[in-house]
Amino acid sequence: MGKITGFLEYERKGPAKEKVAERLKHWREFERTTPEEQLKIQGARCMDCGIPFCHKGCPLGNIIPDWNDLVYRGHWQEAIERLHSTNNFPEFTGRICPAPCEEACVLNINDDPVTIKNIERSIIDRAFEQGWVKPLPAPRTGKRVAVIGSGPAGMACAQQLARAGHDAVLFERDDRIGGLLRYGIPDFKMEKHLIDRRMEQMAAEGVSFRTGVDVGTDVTGDDLRREFDAVVLSVGATKPRDLAVPGRELNGVHFAMQFLPQQNKVVAGDRVPGQILATGKRVIILGGGDTGSDCLGTSNRHGAKSVHQFELLPEPPKDRPPLSWPNWPMILRTSSSHEEGVARDWSINTKAFLGDAKGNLRALRGVRLDWAQDNGRPVMKEVPGSEFELPCELVLLALGFLGPETNTIVSQLGCALTDRGNVQANPDYQTTTPGVFACGDARRGQSLVVWAIWEGRECARGVDAYLMGSTWLPASPEL
């Protein structure tokens, strides 16, 4: 380890951002490239802990202290080798992961954590600039694997399978590869050329891509079993949670995942007739998570007249609760989209959507809530006399997801489900149907991009062992 007193000498300093007024005019990423000298100083803040709890925070088990130190010492090529040893796509996680590793950083007990996420992003960006990211082809085994769904879990699984020598075919029902990375995450958080350049590497390693194929309809389960030696279900958790209140059918009430992908397509140069736009409208976003934040940033770039964001639950505390380290704390989080303008409110229950004579949305009727405990369980009660109406022309439902769509390929392959509606799989990621595997949100439910990549890597190990009797693919750390 190089500098061992950096955490005593240097303060945390994150990447500079473009000013709000300027970044609202475009859809590009707005975080500035961090100068190398600043990155070295930030890497020097790493404490070289005896027990690096950042490993506990990161599902991928990234060897964070090592590459922090390598950046401090200017050994960038070694840093990307160490980073790639656990993470197939650090350019994704370095942009859109909420960085649980930083929450678990030992410095975060009583100081500001190391800028792990920005260092990670800077390592991979430099690696691509310098041409250090190259294909890793392997001798072919003659085995063929279908990977259904091209989000981060499917991409990671397909890449690892190709590196084991198998012919991996990645199926996607949309017209482009990437899943929610492509059609869900706004371009101002992650530009899509990052997916395209990684696809070039994967293709050179032996991954084939089939887009515009709705597996379960265009290709059946029987087709897959005849053509492939194994099948991986990485179909995500795309079933949105709805809100069954009066007025739900009104024009102007939409799921977030009807709204966000359309803008991704427009940025990509596609025509989207009848695009849902927030331009000039009073917008209400229901749901306080990342998807709601993405709707917020998109609405403001459309030129919304106003944006409110409501959350059913109470406002979280602003500071980390005592004794919560190193676990992910439930605290108030402010995203870059919140910085761009929004009225946030908590403990709000939606009672109805109100429309005009033409069936168009005109207002939301809500009520304030009091939350109490009943035998340790939270119970909500309406506050008497607190009902209100808020005029709006657009409501976006960002209420989370209920699991994978199960009435097509999942049911055709005969895969059992868990009591939560996810695809059931054993510790080797094999489902109740031999030769069929599941990973990512389809197996564990809605989760983070780091969990998706971890699941894809681990699933590939299970498939490889099933096909070959054993696997040499690297195992992720036990969590």
- Predicted pLDDT at 477: 62
The per-residue pLDDT for 1 is: 58
Three-point CA angle 218, 437, 154, nearest 5°: 65
**With contact defined as beta carbons under 8 Å apart, do 171 and 213 qualify?**
yes
Residue 479: what pLDDT?
Answer: 46
Amino acid symbol at 200: E
Would you tell me how many other CB atoms lie within 10 Å of the CB of residue 97?
Answer: 24
- Per-residue 3-state assignment (H helix, E strand, C coil) for the chain: CCCCCHHHHCCCCCCCECCHHHHCCCCCCCECCCCHHHHHHHHHCCCCCCCCCHHHHCCCCCCHHHHHHHHHCCCHHHHHHHHHCCCCCHHHHHHHCCCHHHHCCHHHHCCCCCCHHHHHHHHHHHHHHHCCCCCCCCCCCCCEEEEECCCHHHHHHHHHHHHCCCEEEEEECCCCCCHHHCCCCCCCCCCCHHHHHHHHHHHHHCEEEEECCCECCCECHHHHHHHCCEEEECCCCCCECCCCCCCCCCECEEEHHHHHHHHHHHHCCCCCCCCCCCCCCEEEEECCCHHHHHHHHHHHHHCCCEEEEEECCCCCCCCCCCCCCCCCCCCCCCCHHHHCCCEEEECEEEEEEEECCCCEEEEEEEEEEEEEEECCEEEEEECCCCCEEEECCEEEECCCECCCCCCCHHHHCCCCECCCCCECECCCCEECCCCEEECCHHHHCCCCHHHHHHHHHHHHHHHHHHHHCCCCCCCCCCC
Task: Count CA within 13 A, CB hemisphere, residue 5.
Answer: 1
Residue 378's pLDDT is 87
Tens of pLDDT along 242-273?
Answer: 999 999 999 999 999 999 999 999 999 999 99
Per-residue confidence (pLDDT) for residue 375, from 0 to 100? 84
pLDDT at 116: 97
472: tokens are 């040499």
Tokens 């392997």 correspond to what residue? 138
Among all chains, which residue has been given the structure tokens 């190193």? 326
- The span from the CA of 234 to the CA of 214, in Å, is 13
Per-residue pLDDT of the chain (479 residues; tens, 9 = 90+): 566 788 899 999 999 999 999 999 999 999 999 999 999 999 999 988 888 999 888 989 899 999 999 999 999 999 999 999 999 999 999 999 999 999 999 999 988 999 999 999 999 999 999 999 999 999 999 999 999 999 999 999 999 999 999 999 999 999 999 999 999 999 999 999 999 999 999 999 999 999 999 999 999 999 999 999 999 999 999 999 999 999 999 999 999 999 999 999 999 999 999 999 999 999 999 998 999 999 999 999 999 999 999 999 999 998 888 888 988 888 889 999 999 999 999 999 999 999 999 999 999 999 999 998 888 888 999 999 999 999 999 999 999 999 898 888 999 999 999 999 999 999 999 999 999 999 999 999 999 999 999 999 999 999 999 999 999 998 866 54
pLDDT of residue 2: 62
Rg value, the chain, Cα: 23
Map out the domains of the chain with their CATH numbers: 6-130 (1.10.1060.10), 144-238+402-468 (3.50.50.60), 253-397 (3.50.50.60)
